[in-house]
Structure 1
Amino acid sequence: MLNLRLYMLQRITALLMAPLVFGHLAVMIYAIQGGLSAEEILGRTQGSLAWFLFYGTFVVAVAVHGAIGLRTVVHEWGGLKGTALELFMWAVGLGLFATGARAVWAVTFA
């Protein structure tokens, strides 16, 4: 039952990430073609709740999706099982979340 839940959660996060990826790419293309500097980009994102929510959602989805995916790879290729496998998944997920959350905070509110 756990594997089915993780499978479904990974698919749900993929559905969530798809429009966020396209949105992120669109913003990057706009910024590059517009010739915006890093200072100008930060001027537009600092203090913005909308950008915080957009990229914060992205980070949560990526952390969950990536941790579940790596859990599967480590189990199938590395033979890790049981508690060690679950601890690995949680460590990866929390590490991805912490790294991404720090970046989102720096771009939107720091």
Structure 2
Amino acid sequence: MLSLRLYMAQRLSAMVMGPLVLGHLALMIYAIQGGLSSAEILSRTRGSLAWLLFYGTLVLAVSIHAAIGLRVILHEVTGLKGRALGAFTWGFLLILTALGARAVLAVTFL
């Protein structure tokens, strides 16, 4: 049952990531072609709840997707199981989410 839930969570996170990654790439291309500097980009993202939600959602989806994928790889390569595998997965998820949240907050509010 757990493997089915993890499978579904990874697939759902991929479905969320897809359009957000495409949106991010489109924004990067627009910014680069428009000749925007880093300072100009930051001036447009500061204090924006929309950018916070956009990139916050992307960070959460990527963190979930990566943690589950790494869990599968770790199990296949090392044979790790049970609580140790679960602890690693949750730890990695929390670390990725915290680092991503820090980056999003730096771009939107600091």
Q: CA RMSD in A?
A: 0.4
Q: Which amino acid letter does the alignment assign opposite residue 60 of structure 1?
A: L
**Offset at 1:20?**
0.2
Q: Distance in 2 between matches of 1:42 and 1:96?
A: 23
Q: Tell me which residue corresponds to 1:78.
A: 78
Counterpart Cα distance in 1 of 2:79 and 2:2: 18
Matches within 5 A, 1:63-102: 63-102=63-102
The residue that corresponds to 1:60 in the other structure is 60
| Residue of structure 2 in register with 1:14 after alignment | 14
How far does the alpha carbon of each residue in 1:38-86 deviate from its partner, in whole angstroms, 9 at most, with x for none? 0000000000000000000001101111100000000011111111100
State the partner residue of 2:36.
Answer: 36
- 1:50 corresponds to which letter in structure 2? A
Identity %: 67
User: Could you tell me how far 1:6 is from its partner in structure 2?
Assistant: 0.3
Does 1:45 find its partner at 2:45?
Answer: yes
> Structure 1 length normalisation: TM-score?
0.99
After TM superposition, what 4+ stretches of structure 1 lie above 3 angstroms from structure 2?
A: none
Instruction: Give CA-to-partner distance per residue, 1:8-48, whole Å, 9 cap, x none.
Output: 01000000000000000000000110111000000000000
SS at match of 1:47: coil
In 1: Cα distance, 2:105 partner to 2:98 partner: 10
Paired letter, 1:82: G
Q: Partner amino acid for 2:7?
A: Y
Distance 2:75 2:88 in 1: 10
Structure 1 gap segments, 5+ residues each: none
In the other structure, the counterpart of 1:2 is 2
